Amino acid sequence: MRDPREASAIAVERRRARAAVKRTLEAGERSAFSVAVHAWREKDSAEAGLRVTEFLGSIPGIGEVKIPRILNDLGISPRKRLGALGTRQIGTLKAWLEARTSNDNHGDQRSRLVVVAGPTAVGKGTVVARIRERHPDVRFSVSATTRPPRPGETDGEHYFFVTDKEFDRLVETDQMLEWAVVHGHNRYGTPRGPILEALDSGHSIILEIDIQGARNVKRAMPEALLVFLVPPSWDELVRRLQTRGTENSEEQARRLETAKSEFDAQSEFDVTIVNDDVDAAAEAVVHLMTDN
Ligand code: 5GP
């Protein structure tokens, strides 16, 4: 057993080390982002031992009053230490810090590539449509696909509906940021030009694509923020797929098979949002794009 005097000396030393980290944050000598990343890498460090309240309170410009709201928004308990956050909480806090850092650096909102993905029939389309309605300023990538249009879908708005030959040409001429065969037959891809144009001109842009696409975008552009939408439950997902009436039963069965394996990809994403309320899910995505 450790000598109690030794144990208390260690505790005093740890407290002193945490206080030193807080001072460097307060003085702006270290960025909040670098302190957090250090805490997540080195679980025994002074940084990891900081309570999230102490950490946030040491960031210049964040007063006592703001802390509970920020933690509530991020879904983090005020009692948590920085080094003990779960994967999901790390993802949300990281996104929040990145957006904040960038806003500090540029004085205006930074452009962001946000990829919204999730298991089939989770309601990505509905959430994205709600964002369009409520935030006409947000830009969206329009994918190209070889699948035929559904009733009510417009070329150039919902998708660029192209032939197999045209799709081949887009791939061969390197005009696709990523592309994939989705649900076993049709091809879908993200045109590269409009994404780069949006980011270069300081606009954020949302991509609503499948999970393999999200992985490929992250590989090509690691700064992309990957958002995983999940349904409140598996039963709810089956119900949504069966009641939307856009697929026949064979296609429904195929999409459910895909959805099962898609759930496993959640841990690869930066943030998870539960789609139990379309308005709330839509606002959560926009919040990630704009919050500082
Ligand atoms: P739907 O046929 O229902 O419009 O879309 C089927 C799937 O294709 C959805 O999961 C959607 O996210 C995905 N998807 C749409 N556009 C793209 C894209 O550009 N790239 C990839 N990889 N998937 C896409």
Query: Could you tell me the pLDDT band of residue 97, with boundaries at 50, 70 and 90?
Result: confident
Task: Give the tens place of pLDDT for each residue, 200-213.
Answer: 777 889 999 989 99
Report the nearest-CA residue for atom 19 of ligand 1: 189
* 188 Cα: distance to centroid of ligand 1 (angstroms): 6
User: How large is the average pLDDT for residues 254-279?
Assistant: 88
Report the nearest-CA residue for atom 24 of ligand 1: 209
> For a substitution probing ligand 1, which of 190, 210, 226, 263 has the most ligand atoms within 8 Å of its CB?
210
pLDDT at 206 (0 to 100):
95
* 181 Cα: distance to centroid of ligand 1 (angstroms): 9
Question: What mean pLDDT value characterizes the chain?
Answer: 87
Contact 123, 229 (CB under 8 A): yes
Rounded CA gap, 215 and 270, in Å? 11
Closest CA relative to residue 114, chosen from 190, 212, 214: 214
Does residue 216 surpass a pLDDT of 90? yes
Rounded CA gap, 90 and 230, in Å? 18
Residues 262-266: contacts with CB under 8 Å, at least 24 apart: 262/118, 262/119, 262/120, 262/210, 262/211, 263/119, 263/230, 265/117, 265/211, 265/214, 265/215, 265/228, 266/228, 266/230
pLDDT at 240 (0 to 100):
82
Reported pTM? 0.61
> For a substitution probing ligand 1, which of 182, 187, 275 has the most ligand atoms within 8 Å of its CB?
182
243: number of CA atoms within 13 Å, CB side?
Answer: 8
Q: Within 6 Å (CB) of ligand 1, which residues are found?
A: 120, 124, 143, 147, 178, 180, 182, 188-190, 208-210, 212-213
Query: Could you tell me the pLDDT band of residue 107, with boundaries at 50, 70 and 90?
Result: very low
Does residue 268 surpass a pLDDT of 60? yes
Of 101-115, 192-206, 221-235, 261-275, the least confident: 101-115
CA dihedral of 70, 264, 274, 245, whole degrees rounded to 10: 160
Q: What is the DSSP letter of 173?
A: T
* 273 Cα: distance to centroid of ligand 1 (angstroms): 19
Nearest atom (ligand 1) to Cα of 158: 4
Report the nearest-CA residue for atom 9 of ligand 1: 210
* 125 Cα: distance to centroid of ligand 1 (angstroms): 10
